[in-house]
A and B are shown apart, each in its own frame.
Chain A
Amino acid sequence: MLYHEKTLQCNLKNNPDVIFSWPIAFYNLVWEELEASPSGLRGSCKAALRRLAEAQPGAPTGLRLEKLQSAITELKVSWNRQEFRLLFFREQSVVYVVNFFQKKTRKCPPSEIARAVGRMTEIQVDQAKVLTRSLH
């Protein structure tokens, strides 16, 4: 059973000690970058991501979110007077984090958005392959 299936199963079993959350998946490189970042920055990012995973439709999240393009959304995180961005998309109840970078310009750089879109496509193609294999 996949990790996120296990998470969903546990969540749906109504454990009161476990806060319901949607699974989070990271593009490999993004996870490595996040894990290699200073612990304070990781703390900030993981608090925001945890809230994102717990977000209920229609309820205010308190998160700083901005819709970009092609289903990509930007999650804004501050740490040490610096601004960081996590770009993600949601698919089949999973939050996929596909880019993580320090913001240095006023607007989200198109190159970073393009990178996120490229990775999203990669993941979608990969999932389609897995699905096709499982059907045969």
Chain B
Amino acid sequence: MTKQKSSLVVFTDLGIAEELKDKEFRNQFFRTEREIDIPAQIKALRKFRRMTQKKLAESAGTKQSAVSRLEKSQEANWELETLVKLAEALDSRLSVVIEPYEAIVGRYVTAAETQAPSAATAQTSADQTIESRSPAGYGQVDIIQPDRSKLSDAKENGPIQKWN
């Protein structure tokens, strides 16, 4: 773990890569990530599709309050079928990826831990949005999101037909 301490505060990278060696920690860590990611993806996609919660609920055959609850991360036990219906209503694909933790622990090594700014190469903060923490990353249920560049394109020129 990398940290720097002053008299008042500790600057830290949270030491996640190290902590993930503990099974109880990583179980809860991945569970929480899933609880955060799914609502964020659904909300982002719904906005991209310019749908209200009510419209999405109607398309998915559920209630507006259920969509609202889901987007507020208040629903931790999603049924797969519910997610499939929501993905369909959002004209998206639901992807489930299960990955061994050894294969992904490297993704949790932070900038300060790598300590190799000179070897750094390709992406700025602007490129790092929900996509970068997405699907393939976490071995969870994810709804694949559209390319952001296409998203801005669609915003300017009207929706989805620009994609194809």
B164: Cβ under 8 A from any A Cβ? no
Inside 8 A of B35's CB, which chain A residues have their CB? Answer: 62
Given contacts A12-B124, A27-B9, A79-B28, contact A56 B129 (CB under 8 A): yes
Contact count band on A: 35 or more
Number of residue pairs spanning A and B whose beta carbons lie under 8 angstroms apart: 178
Most chain-A CB neighbours within 10 Å: which of B12, B38, B47?
A: B12
Query: For the complex, what is the distance from the CA of A56 to the CA of B9, rounded to whole Å?
Result: 24
Q: Is A46 in contact with chain B by the CB < 8 A criterion? A: yes
Are B119 and A15 in contact, CB atoms less than 8 angstroms apart? yes
Q: Which of A10, A40, A96, A122 contacts B120 (CB 8 A)?
A: A10
The residues of A that contact B130 with a CB separation of less than 8 Å are 59-60
Inter-subunit contact A14/B122 (CB<8 Å): yes
B116: A residues at CB distance < 8 A? 10, 15
Main secondary structure of the interface of B (DSSP, over half): helix
Which A residues are CB-close (under 8 A) to B126? 56
User: Are A19 and B107 within 8 A (Cβ)?
Assistant: yes
B93 at interface, CB cutoff 8 A: no
Known A-B contacts A25-B11, A46-B16, A49-B14; the reply to A39 vs B24 at CB < 8 A is yes
A20 to B55, CA, bound (A): 34
Closest residue of chain B to A10, judged by CB? B111
Please give the distance in Å from A92's CB to the nearest CB on chain B.
Answer: 12
- Of chain B, the residue at the smallest CB distance from A63 is B36
Of B28, B37, B114, B119, chain A has the most CB atoms within 10 Å of the CB of B28
